[in-house]
Amino acid sequence: MFEAFREKNILLLREQVKILYGGIPNSLLANLFGAYIALYIFSGIVSPERLLVWVVLMLAVSLLRFMQYLFFKNASLDPPGKCYRWYLHFLLGVGFMALAVGSSGYLLFVFESVSLQVTLALMIACIASFATTTLSPRVELAIPFQVMIFVPILVSLYSRESSETEHMFWMMLALMILLCLSAYRIFLTIRHSIELTIDAEHREEELRKSQQRLTLFIKDTPMAVIEWTKQGEVVAWNPAAESMFLYTEKEALGKRAQELIVPVQATQSAREIWQTLLDQTGGNHYIEQTCRKDGVPLFCEWFNTPLVSNSGQVIGVISLIQDITLEIENERLKSEFVSIVSHELRTPVTSIKGSLGLLAAGVLKDNPEKTQEMLNIAMKNTDRLQLLINDILDVEKLDSGQIEYHFKQVDLCRLIQDVIQSNESYAQKYNINVITGAMPEQAMVKIDPDRIFQVITNLLSNAIKFSEHNGTVIVFIDVLTDKKVRVLVNNKGDVLPLSEKKKLFSKFYQTDSSDKRAKEGSGLGLYISQKILEQHSSVMDFNSTEEEGTTFFFDLAITE
């Protein structure tokens, strides 16, 4: 609070000093004009010595104040210490001027002539009146100045014991008091005016800073910010809106929502929402489907606020938009995950419970072969549960970066043979023939063999699972020209649409996520494989056509 008060006083003094120095030229002209009149009138009447002393004194002080003015014109009032110094300089200049003007009440006073006494009094009264306006910004300057120029002539008049000088004495004294009171009143008015100006400038600065902060917020916020006119035309479109909807600011300005981001099927709904905003009867929080410039649909959360004038009329609308397409997609994935996991858990648990229930009830105690079959079913479904749990744990470790990789030199051809051999029984279950295609004699790569074994196993098991009945899965290696080898797994089955490529490598994705789907699986294998390949500076991709079938592939660097 003290700092704010001090800062305000500094600003007040600065403006007062500017006004005081700005009045010096007019003040000097008035003083020099009065001196010229006095010289003209009193020349030959007042002794030359006294007249010369007064003229030299006036000229010297006038020159001093003019030099002060010239220096001040190019000066700075910062820091505050300079402002105080310039004020003290002005104070000294005014003091010398008061002495020079006031000395006329003694040096030019003619004791024998009442008319000249009146003339001198009028001259001093005129100078004092003019000084009242030029010095009033600081009352501590104006009042002492009045006193200093009036006291000498008051003393001279008082020393004359005549009725004429007595009347003049009281009139001059009354005039001095009135001018002092006027100076104080003008001082209050000027100070109030300066304070209002300072407050207005402060508010303007705060408004400018607020507008700057708002502009920076609109520019840097990750949410799209759009300002609309009452007619629904865009007048502001921030960078986040450009990124979200792919329209540049130049393309968006002046356009309506229906021309930019509202799909045809949502036009009526958008009109109804807009009307509630204009009527100030609707909420400002909506979730609506919009579309980008390239036609890709987006789900956005809208926060709409009407801009209202002082008269209560809506003059526009500000919209904050957040793209929640990813959140909605995540909710869909969660729902699918619950469906997939429920299915993947329910089936083996039911089988295990049924098998163990029969064994526990002793129904099969006299049938060893059936007993063994039930145990095999329970064991098989236990393995299935373990695979699901391992996949879920692997995803958690991959996402949190907790999996350690142990890289070593490995013959990729030998590793592929091991993967095929370990999945032989799985292939027989689906009546699928797994063969190797073209392969080099040796392909040495630096990898984590266990993790790449897991990747190839995922590809091979998917190829087996989604192959045509009694089909063939081919695993082969291409040697590329840039010192890389490409591992490819091909099968014939349903064609995978390329539009689903991004989703295919996401968590819990299934081409059929219903509870009644024919193919088992958690939908995590390809996601896990892609994450593992990222640590090997590689990426998985696929091609799928009716003629060639579906081929998944990834590249690895050959080591010397």
3-state SS, one letter per residue, for 39-56? HHHHECCECHHHHHHHHH
DSSP letters of 329-358? HHHHHHHHHHHHHHHHHHHHHHHHHHHHHH
Tens place of pLDDT per residue across the chain (560 aa): 556 667 778 888 888 888 888 888 888 888 788 778 888 888 878 888 888 888 888 889 889 988 988 888 887 777 767 888 888 988 998 899 889 888 888 888 887 788 888 888 888 888 888 888 888 888 888 999 999 999 998 998 888 878 888 888 999 999 999 999 999 999 999 889 888 888 888 888 887 877 677 677 777 788 889 999 988 899 989 999 999 999 999 999 999 888 888 888 888 888 888 888 888 766 666 666 788 888 888 888 888 888 888 888 888 888 888 888 888 877 776 776 666 666 666 667 777 777 777 777 776 777 778 788 777 777 777 766 776 677 667 767 777 777 788 899 999 999 999 989 888 888 888 899 999 888 888 889 999 998 899 899 889 988 998 888 889 999 999 988 778 999 999 998 888 877 777 677 776 666 554 444 445 556 678 888 888 898 899 999 998 888 889 999 999 998 86
Task: Provide the residue type at 347 as one letter.
Answer: T
Q: What are phi and psi of 267, to 5 degrees?
A: -60, -45
Task: Provide the residue type at 323 as one letter.
Answer: D
How do beta strands 484-491 and 549-557 pair? antiparallel
**Half-sphere exposure at residue 309, Cβ-oriented, CA atoms within 13 angstroms:** 8
Query: For residues 241, 242, 248 and 249, what is the CA-based torsion angle, rounded to 10 degrees?
Result: 30
- Rounded-to-integer distance, Cα 339 and Cα 342, Å: 5
Cβ 464 vs Cβ 449: under 8 Å: no
- Rounded-to-integer distance, Cα 262 and Cα 256, Å: 9
Residue spans per domain, the chain: 2-205, 222-323, 329-400, 408-557
| Length of the chain counted residue by residue | 560
Cβ 382 vs Cβ 352: under 8 Å: yes
Supply angle C-alpha 352, 355, 359, rounded to 5. 130
Cβ 318 vs Cβ 334: under 8 Å: no
C-alpha radius of gyration, the chain, whole number: 49
Cβ 153 vs Cβ 168: under 8 Å: no
Task: Note the CATH architecture for domain 329-400.
Answer: Orthogonal Bundle (1.10)
- Going by C-alpha positions, the residue among 456, 448, 465, 450 that lies closest to residue 522 is 465
pLDDT tens for 40-93 read 888 878 888 888 888 888 889 889 988 988 888 887 777 767 888 888 988 998
- Rounded-to-integer distance, Cα 472 and Cα 253, Å: 58
- Rounded-to-integer distance, Cα 245 and Cα 421, Å: 51
Query: Are 222-323 and 408-557 equal in CATH topology?
Result: no
- Rounded-to-integer distance, Cα 158 and Cα 173, Å: 11
Task: Provide the residue type at 375 as one letter.
Answer: L
pTM of the model: 0.46
DSSP-based helix, strand, coil % in the chain, nearest 5? 60, 15, 20
What's the CATH fold of domain 222-323? Beta-Lactamase (3.30.450)
CATH homologous superfamily of 408-557 equals: Histidine kinase-like ATPase, C-terminal domain (3.30.565.10)
- Going by C-alpha positions, the residue among 353, 355, 451 that lies closest to residue 397 is 451
Token output for 175: 């005039």
pLDDT tens for 367-384 read 778 788 777 777 777 766
